[in-house]
């Protein structure tokens, strides 16, 4: 059983998204995703200023086992990336919900509603 | 559902993430592959490698046949218990499999890869025609590898006095029987350690004793990064049917002398040598962040191109390393393409770590 915080939204591709008070959206990968990947050793981050549509490739997480693309769960412009992951990529394993990967200024917050809620994600991963 | 070793239930109980490996359900890791890797380099760990195939060779012409079948020469095994690493080649000089051969009191014991079991048995059947030799697979045996600087010391304390003594006395690359156990000082990690062949019905209790004594179970994930750091080939990746051992850092395993010894693949290898060997297997080290992976393209300025055969993150070195097959003229620099971008890499001898120490 993996951790699925109730206040987050999830993409079927295993990213989580959180709408912050200032209207930005923070993105990371789920506990289920980090567990499936195994030990994360490198994160290729997007560039700040880049504009993504929902579902665009927004970086790569490399574990010892394999490289996996991460996708932007909603549309928007990248306003920050978590540079601390360069030195401690393993924090995606140890703290998947505090180790964010990037922050977006969303172009349409209604897209968040199209993402899965905690119960929907739980069902999607068969837990 | 894949085949299961006698330790399958114990792996599940220990929280292993199971994966398919050559038709077997095997533990990939028990939590963290990187931690398991460090545990073996620093202390020791136990691997279930019961999926590997044990074949005993007996018969009046066992030696003569193996001298024909294998590129290395079992004549070098002059006292019982000595072990030899060898390739088994086809007529074209491609590698059918790589294996360890032990000289036993009654013949020879081969330990070959799990995924190549069918290919090996079929090949050996065709090659043994006309020889007085018997092949006996031993599926009723389990195989545990205990590897790491503390492995022999810790195992010796858990077994009978006689076995403990044997473990202390074994020389590197030597194996001896004691009762129904066969204990060898061999492995696939670049560390000191043991490989123990024992009856399958005794394996769960022994594995439990080892884990109970604080020896961590280690999955196939760490086994792969450990062998990669040690520069050991993995069949199916670094070597296969269409790769010559001369292009796989295995020239040292080919016994050319005596020149009169005919072995399968010899003519092809001699022709290859005479024409000039074109490729070599080297090590690559990525100094920047990123991870080298199998099948990425290697570019060498003014020389040509090659390909990564095995690549991963090296937990000991905290950077990515790889084995790559490249043109013979490759010197000490190259570039690797990762997701459309070229990264500079150092070209090194393909032994990155031995006995806990970085060699590059």
The ipTM, to two decimals, is 0.88
pTM value is 0.94
Non-local (6+) Cβ contacts of B258 within 8 A are none
Ramachandran sector of residue A120 (left: φ over 0; alpha: ψ -120 to 50; beta: rest): alpha
Here the tokens at position A32 are 């289920």
Burial class, B344, CB count within 10 angstroms (exposed 0-12 / middle 13-18 / buried 19+) = exposed
Of A60, A86, A90, the CB nearest to B339: A60
3-state secondary structure B208-273: HHHHHCCCEECCHHHHHHHHHHCCCCCECCCECCCCCHHHCCCHHHCCCCCCCCCCCCHHHHHHHH
Chain B residues whose CB is inside 8 A of the A86 CB are 289
Nearest to B86 by CA among B49, B112, B64: B112
Listed by start position, the domains of chain A span 7-106
Structure tokens at B40: 């073996």
pLDDT class of A44 with cuts at 50, 70, 90: very high
Give the closest residue to B292 by CA, choosing from B332, B251, B321, B261: B321
Kindly state whether B289 is in contact with chain A, defined as any CB-CB distance less than 8 angstroms.
yes
Among B260, B257, B323, residue whose Cα is nearest residue B286: B323
* Closest chain B residue to the Cα of A59, Cα to Cα: B339
Q: Which residues of B touch A62 (CB under 8 A)?
A: 290-291, 313
Q: Is the pLDDT of residue A61 over 90?
A: yes
pLDDT tens per residue, range B332-347: 999 999 999 999 999 9
pLDDT at B1: 80
Kindly state the average pLDDT of the residues B120-143: 97
CATH of the domain spanning A7-106: 2.40.50.100
Residue from B313, B319, B320 whose CB has the most chain A CBs within 10 Å, to mutate: B313
Would the CB atoms of A41 and B34 count as touching at under 8 Å?
yes
Q: Place B79 in a pLDDT band, splitting at 50, 70 and 90.
A: confident
Element counts in chain B: helices (H) and strands (E): 9, 21
Q: Go through B86-102 and write b for each residue having 16 or more CB atoms within 10 A of its CB, e for each that does not.
A: bbbbeeebbbbbbbbbb
Six token digits for residue B300: 């060498």
Residue to substitute from B287, B290, B296, B317, interface A, most A β-carbons within 10 A: B290
Name residues 91-150 of chain B within 8 A of A (Cβ): none
Q: What is the pLDDT of residues B12-50, one digit of tens each?
A: 999 999 999 999 999 999 999 999 999 999 999 999 999
In angstroms, the CA A86 to CA B244 distance is 40
Query: Which residue numbers of A have CB closer than 8 Å to B's CBs?
Result: 38-39, 41-42, 44, 60, 62, 64-67, 86, 90, 93
B291 touches chain A (CB under 8 A): yes
Percentage of residues of chain B with pLDDT beyond 90: 98
Task: State which residue of chain A sits closest to B225, comparing Cα positions.
Answer: A64
Our CA-based measurement puts residue B295 at a distance from the nearest CA of chain A, in whole angstroms, of 13
- pLDDT of A34 > 90? The answer is yes
Whether B339 sits inside 8 A of A64 (CB atoms) is: no
Q: What is the DSSP string of B149-191?
A: TTHHHHHHTTS-HHHHHHHHHPPTTBEEEETTEEEES--SSSS
In angstroms, the first-to-last Cα distance of chain A is 7
pLDDT of residue B78: 87
Helix (H) or strand (E) holding B1: none
Q: Identify which of B32, B290, B315 has the shortest CB distance to residue A42.
A: B290
């Amino acid at each position: 059983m993996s951790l699925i915080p109730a206040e987050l939204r999830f993409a079927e591709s295993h990213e989580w998204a959180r709408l912050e008070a200032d209207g930005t959206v923070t993105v990371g990968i789920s506990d289920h995703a980090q567990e499936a990947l195994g030990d994360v050793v490198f994160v290729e981050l997007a560039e700040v200023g880049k504009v993504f549509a929902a579902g665009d490739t927004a970086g790569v997480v490399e574990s010892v086992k394999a490289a996996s693309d991460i996708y932007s769960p909603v549309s928007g412009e990248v306003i920050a990336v978590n540079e601390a992951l360069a030195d401690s990529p393993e924090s995606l394993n140890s703290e998947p919900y505090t180790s964010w990967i990037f922050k977006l200024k969303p172009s349409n917050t209604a897209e968040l509603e199209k993402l899965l809620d905690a119960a929907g994600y739980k069902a999607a991963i068969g837990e | 559902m894949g085949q299961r070793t006698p330790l399958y239930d114990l792996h599940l109980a220990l929280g292993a993430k199971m994966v398919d490996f050559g038709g077997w359900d095997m533990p990939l890791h028990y939590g963290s592959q990187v931690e398991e890797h460090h545990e073996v380099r620093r202390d020791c760990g136990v691997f279930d490698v019961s999926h590997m195939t044990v074949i005993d060779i007996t018969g009046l012409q066992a030696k003569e046949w193996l001298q024909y079948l294998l590129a290395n020469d079992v004549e070098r095994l002059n006292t019982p218990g000595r072990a030899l690493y060898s390739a088994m080649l086809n007529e074209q000089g491609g590698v059918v499999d790589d294996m360890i051969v032990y000289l036993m009191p009654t013949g020879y014991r081969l330990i070959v890869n799990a995924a190549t079991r069918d290919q090996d048995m079929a090949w050996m059947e065709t090659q043994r025609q006309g020889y007085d030799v018997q092949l006996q697979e031993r599926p009723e045996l389990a195989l545990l590898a205990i590897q790491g600087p503390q492995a022999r010391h810790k195992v010796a304390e858990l077994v009978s006095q006689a076995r403990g003594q044997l473990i202390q006395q074994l020389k590197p690359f030597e194996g001896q029987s004691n009762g129904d156990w066969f204990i060898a000082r061999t492995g696939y990690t670049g560390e000191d350690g043991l490989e123990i062949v024992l009856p399958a019905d005794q394996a769960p209790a022994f594995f439990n004793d080892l884990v109970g004594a604080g020896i961590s179970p280690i999955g196939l994930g760490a086994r792969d990064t450990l062998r990669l750091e040690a520069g050991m080939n993995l069949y199916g990746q670094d070597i296969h049917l269409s790769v010559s051992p001369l292009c796989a850092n295995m020239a040292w395993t080919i016994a050319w002398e005596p020149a009169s010894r005919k072995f399968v693949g010899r003519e092809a290898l001699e022709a290859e040598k005479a024409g000039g060997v074109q490729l070599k297997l080297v090590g690559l080290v990525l100094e920047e962040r990123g991870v080298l992976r199998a099948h990425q393209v290697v570019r060498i300025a003014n020389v040509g191109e090659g390909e990564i055969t095995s690549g991963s993150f090296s937990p000991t070195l905290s950077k990515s390393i790889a084995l790559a097959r490249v043109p013979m003229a490759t010197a000490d620099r190259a570039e690797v393409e990762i997701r459309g971008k070229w990264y500079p890499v150092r070209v090194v001898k393909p032994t990155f770590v031995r006995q806990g120490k970085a060699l590059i």
